[in-house]
Structure formats: structure tokens, C-alpha cells
């Protein structure tokens, strides 16, 4: 009798990032089968950052159709979304309503990196309400309630009265695909000041006293109907694809859709949970609470989990069950990482010369800069290129300090400028910027360790893992082993894991992580640079404190 060939099952993960939508098709053995990317539009001409939910949905549909086109709809068993923590605003009929001074209804999303709500964040923080304990004492203007308060204060009364729904972008995607208004615990706990666990001075769920104290008591109306009153943990099946979305996505009616996550948190589950490589088995505990997930792209997020709540000033959390159910999450980050590196390179007077040289040599500009650094170190008889920045220091807070200072008004600083603006100068500035980001990561790690964390490994994902200097600098400056998994697209992997849970093919996130992800690359710290980076880290801390002093000195002028 002929052997019956097993028919594979597949899962679709969708990631809506800052500038594009991506989709991945995952086979049931954890292998990536297809990947697709389509751009999305951002409006920034008013100084704000805005997007369109209709434009994003069209991009999502293109991505999903592309990765599934060669497979039977019956083989696609689950779908999940993750997205940036951007605010979607819809009217009472679920149509887009403008969040822009242009009054263009297409512009109905305030992008996560939009800092228009700095003053509103200050007002909220001034309440010193107990719920702020779960965001390190301060909300960020990147969170949703400051943005909603900005809209209330800047919209006409007529516009404000027309609003029917405020949603995190990830929740909008599950709503658009299933019709369910159920919200993700991940989104609400991390970005909406929804309390995920009971404590002596914290009540589970929405806090009426908090919403009233910040001037948003109308969000309480109708059992919180504008902000969500049914909440599911990540991965739980939120419903099946409705007829229109199934047609749009090219999938089967009723395909299970998972409760969504914020993109960085999807990246966290997409990499933090594999078994350790055998060489570490005797020296390190196989404990996911001793690991940090570093999701590094346009911005960077630093994620750690613990069994008991950990409170760290200036670092978000503890968020209960926001990433891995049953664990508390602490989340830190940098508002600009890859975006900062590109800005520093592209605004330098020698950038055009660099781009031409890179094209001629068929290199990326980053590879070309590394070549320049190697040649410069050889010329100066310096053993490590990291030592080239001895007299050059960068404070990387060009878009504010998200963690651990929680000071969005902070700006970048560069020490070491001269009249030199050649390619070697650009290369050193580039290296110092990467190191500055790593010193900022160390500042975060040090604060978490002071609060009780023990961190053995840093798992990294995102576009910056392809930048060898960035990865090695983090290993050296944190003095931690950096691990990169077989599936480098950890954010999409995280969404695919959620899809397997919604389909009922894995029981929970911990099982899905163990079953479907594994480590590929190990990057060890360079011990000979430890003293050098310790001293430069002290310079970083001094620069940071100096800027805080400058802000204080000038505040009443």
C-alpha cells in the first residue's frame, strides 16, 4: 500500500510596522515559506505623523494574498496580526475620522512616534495616580490616552462628538477582519493604562477615577464602549474571518483570527523562548525570566519578564500577561534607533560621497563605513575599531528619552566635533552613535538589574541585527551574550505563533515558543574592551545628567 503523504498546515502572521506592512507564511514545522512586504503612507508635512487605516488595510490584503497565493485556502489554519502602538479613530459608523489639522479623514491614525501630546502627558503624570505605577511613574506621549486628550483639546466639539471608537492599530485589524470589538490585553495594558492585575492600590481593569482625573470621563460612558469592554489575552481566538475580509485577504471564510499584539511584543515571543544551545546548559539556567528581548528597528524596545511584579522608575510595567500569559512584563526602549543612525549618516556633509563609494563597491553604506573604520584603525595602529571614539561621544536622545529617564523633551548631544567633515569623520560619528545607543541600552539594563532582574542573555531581532557593529557593540557594552534565532523575522514569527494558538494547534505561547523557534547565532562580548566601554559609559551618564541640568537651568527663561 502506498504511503499517504501528510498535508502540511500553514499559518499567516501580519506585521504592520512604521513604514510597511509585512506578511509571513509559516509551515507547521516552524519553517518560513513565504514573505511579502508592501509600503504604507505616512503624512508628516504638518509636523505630526499620521496614517490611514484604509491604506493600511489595503496593504495588509496585498501582503496576505501574495504569501498565500500558491496554497489551498483549506491549508491556512490561522491568522494573526501585530502592529505599531498607533491610535486609530473611527466615527460611530466605523468610518475614518480625521486626527489631523488638515481635516482629511484619510488621516485617521496618530502614528506611535508622534509627540504632539507632550503637554497632555505632563498633565496626566501630574495626577500621580496609582495606575501610573505600572508605567514606571510616567506615561509617554507615545501612549494612547495622552493622544486622545490632545484630540479632545484640539478638535471641534462637533468632531469630538462624532467619534465612535478609539483603537490600537492591532485591535483595529482584528476588528476589520472579524467584526469583533474585543481588545487585546497586550495593547490595553501596555498603552492605555488598563490595569492587568489586582494589587492593594490597583483595581483590575479600567480606572474610573483615573479617567476622570485626566479629563476623559466620557470614556467611561456606555461601559467603556469607545475604548473596549471585552478583553482577551494574546493568541486567544477572537473570531473567524467575516465574508468581506475573507474575500479581501483571499482566505477561507471563518479562518480563526488570534487576539493581536503590539509589534515589539510579538517580537518578544518570537525569540525569547527557545531552549538554550547545549554549550550553555551547565553554566546558565534555562529560564526565560533571565533573558532580555531587544527588538531593534526604527525604534528599539527592551523586553523582560518576571514571575512577580517588578517596579522600575522610568520603565514601563509591570504589565501582567501582556506578552507571555502568567508573567509580568517590563518594557523599556529608545524612540529612535535605526532612524537615528540613518539621520546621522544622511545629514553629514560627506554622505553623498559615501553613497557613491558604496554604489561603486556594491556595498551598503553601513558596510562601507565599517571598511573605512577598519582602514582608519590600521592606519592609527589601533587594535579595535571601537577605540576610535575615545574623544567622540554621542547622547542618542534625538527624539527624547523613553527609558529610563522618561523625558521626551530631551535631545541629542555630540561631543568631539571639529572642522573635519570628511569620510573618516562620518565613520567615527556613525560608530559613536551606535555606541551611544548601546550605552543607552546599558542604562536600561542597569536599572532593571537594580530592581531585581538577573539577565544572562540578550536575544536580538529587527533590521539592525544585520549591522554587525550594532550587535557587537551591544554585546561588548552590556557585557552579555547576544543570541539571534534561526528565524530572524522574530516579529512575524511571533504573530505566526499566535495564529497557531488561535487555530488550536499549540496550547499556549510557551509551548509555541519551545516547539517552533531555535537559536542560530551566538555573539560573545569582547573582554579586552570592557574597561574602555566602562569609562565611555561614565561619559554617557555625565552627558545625560548635564542635559537634565541644562533643561532645569533654562526652564524659567
As a whole number of angstroms, the distance between CA 232 and CA 237 comes to: 9
pLDDT (0 to 100) of residue 5: 38
Query: 42: phi > 0 → left, psi -120 to 50 → alpha, else beta; which?
Result: beta
Q: Report pTM.
A: 0.88
In contact, 82 and 265? CB cutoff 8 Å: yes
Taking alpha carbons only, the member of 412, 404, 406 closest to residue 432 is: 412
DSSP conformation letters of 435-458: HHHHHHHHHHHHHHHHTT----EE
Beta bridge partners, 258, equal 237
At 304, which helix (H) or strand (E)?
strand 300-306
pLDDT (0 to 100) of residue 556: 87
Domain boundaries, the chain: 10-258
Q: How far is CA 26 from CA 11, 63, 78, 335, 405, in A?
A: 5, 14, 10, 30, 39
In contact, 233 and 321? CB cutoff 8 Å: yes
Local confidence pLDDT in tens for the 557 residues of the chain: 344 335 689 999 999 999 999 999 999 999 999 999 999 999 998 899 999 999 999 999 999 999 999 999 999 999 999 999 999 999 999 999 999 999 999 999 999 999 999 999 999 999 999 999 988 889 999 999 999 999 999 999 999 999 999 999 999 999 999 999 999 999 999 999 999 877 767 788 999 999 999 999 999 999 999 999 999 999 999 999 999 999 999 999 999 999 999 999 999 999 999 989 989 988 888 899 999 999 998 899 999 999 999 999 999 989 999 999 899 999 999 999 999 999 999 999 999 999 999 999 999 999 999 999 999 999 999 999 999 999 999 999 999 999 999 999 999 999 999 999 999 999 999 999 999 999 999 999 999 999 999 999 999 998 999 999 999 999 999 999 999 999 999 999 999 999 999 999 999 999 999 999 999 999 999 999 999 999 999 999 999 999 999 999 998 88
pLDDT (0 to 100) of residue 7: 67
CATH number given to 10-258: 3.30.420.40
In contact, 171 and 228? CB cutoff 8 Å: yes
Amino acid at each position: 500500500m502506498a504511503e499517504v503523504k501528510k498535508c502540511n498546515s500553514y499559518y499567516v502572521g501580519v506585521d504592520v510596522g512604521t513604514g510597511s506592512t509585512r506578511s509571513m507564511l509559516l509551515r507547521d514545522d516552524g519553517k518560513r515559506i513565504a514573505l511579502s512586504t508592501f509600503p504604507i503612507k505616512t503624512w508628516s508635512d504638518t509636523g505630526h505623523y499620521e496614517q490611514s487605516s484604509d491604506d493600511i488595510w489595503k496593504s495588509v490584503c496585498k501582503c496576505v494574498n501574495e504569501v498565500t497565493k500558491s496554497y489551498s485556502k483549506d491549508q491556512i489554519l490561522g491568522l494573526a496580526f501585530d502592529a505599531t502602538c498607533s491610535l486609530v479613530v473611527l466615527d460611530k459608523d466605523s468610518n475614518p475620522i480625521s486626527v489631523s489639522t488638515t481635516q482629511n479623514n484619510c488621516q485617521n491614525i496618530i502614528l506611535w512616534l508622534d509627540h504632539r501630546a507632550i503637554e497632555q502627558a505632563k498633565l496626566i503624570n501630574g495626577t500621580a495616580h496609582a495606575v501610573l505605577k505600572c508605567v514606571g511613574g510616567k506615561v509617554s506621549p507615545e501612549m494612547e490616552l495622552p493622544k486622545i486628550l490632545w484630540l479632545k483639546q484640539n478638535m471641534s466639539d462637533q468632531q469630538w462628538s462624532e467619534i465612535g471608537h478609539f483603537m490600537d492599530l492591532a485591535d483595529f485589524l482584528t476588528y476589520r477582519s472579524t467584526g469583533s470589538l474585543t481588545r487585546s490585553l497586550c495593547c490595553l495594558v501596555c498603552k492605555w493604562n488598563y490595569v492587568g492585575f489586582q494589587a492593594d492600590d490597583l483595581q483590575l481593569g479600567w480606572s474610573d477615577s483615573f479617567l476622570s482625573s485626566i479629563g476623559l470621563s466620557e470614556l467611561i460612558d456606555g461601559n467603556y464602549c469607545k475604548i473596549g469592554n471585552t478583553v482577551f489575552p494574546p493568541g486567544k481566538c477572537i473570531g473567524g474571518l467575516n465574508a468581506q475580509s475573507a474575500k479581501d485577504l483571499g482566505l477561507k471564510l471563518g479562518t480563526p483570527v488570534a487576539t493581536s499584539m503590539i509589534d515589539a511584543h510579538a517580537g518578544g515571543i518570537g525569540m525569547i523562548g527557545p531552549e538554550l544551545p547545549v554549550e550553555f546548559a551547565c553554566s546558565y539556567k534555562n529560564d526565560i525570566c533571565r533573558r532580555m528581548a531587544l527588538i531593534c528597528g526604527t525604534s528599539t524596545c527592551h523586553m523582560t519578564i518576571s514571575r512577580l511584579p517588578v517596579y522600575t522608575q522610568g520603565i514601563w510595567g509591570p504589565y501582567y500577561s501582556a506578552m507571555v500569559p502568567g508573567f509580568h512584563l517590563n518594557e523599556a526602549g529608545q524612540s529612535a534607533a535605526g532612524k537615528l543612525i540613518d539621520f546621522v549618516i544622511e545629514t553629514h556633509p560627506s554622505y553623498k560621497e559615501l553613497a557613491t563609494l558604496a554604489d561603486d563597491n556594491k556595498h551598503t553604506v553601513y558596510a562601507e563605513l565599517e571598511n573605512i573604520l577598519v582602514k582608519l584603525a590600521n592606519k592609527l595602529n589601533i587594535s579595535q575599531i571601537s577605540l576610535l571614539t575615545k574623544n567622540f561621544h554621542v547622547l542618542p536622545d534625538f527624539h527624547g528619552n523613553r527609558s529610563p529617564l522618561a523625558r521626551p523633551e530631551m535631545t541629542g548631544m555630540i561631543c568631539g566635533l571639529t572642522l573635519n567633515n570628511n569620510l573618516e569623520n562620518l565613520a567615527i560619528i556613525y560608530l559613536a552613535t551606535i555606541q551611544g545607543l548601546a550605552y543607552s541600552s546599558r542604562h536600561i539594563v542597569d536599572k532593571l538589574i537594580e530592581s531585581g532582574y538577573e539577565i544572562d542573555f540578550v536575544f536580538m531581532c529587527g533590521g539592525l541585527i544585520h549591522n554587525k557593529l550594532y550587535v557587537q557593540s551591544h554585546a561588548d557594552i552590556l557585557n552579555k551574550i547576544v543570541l539571534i534565532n534561526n528565524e530572524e523575522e522574530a516579529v512575524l514569527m511571533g504573530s505566526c505563533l499566535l495564529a497557531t494558538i488561535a487555530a488550536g494547534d499549540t496550547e499556549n505561547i510557551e509551548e509555541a515558543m519551545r516547539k517552533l523557534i531555535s537559536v542560530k547565532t551566538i555573539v560573545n562580548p569582547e573582554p579586552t574592551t570592557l574597561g574602555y566601554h566602562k569609562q565611555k559609559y561614565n561619559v554617557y551618564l555625565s552627558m545625560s545628567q548635564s542635559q537634565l541640568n541644562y533643561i532645569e537651568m533654562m526652564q524659567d527663561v
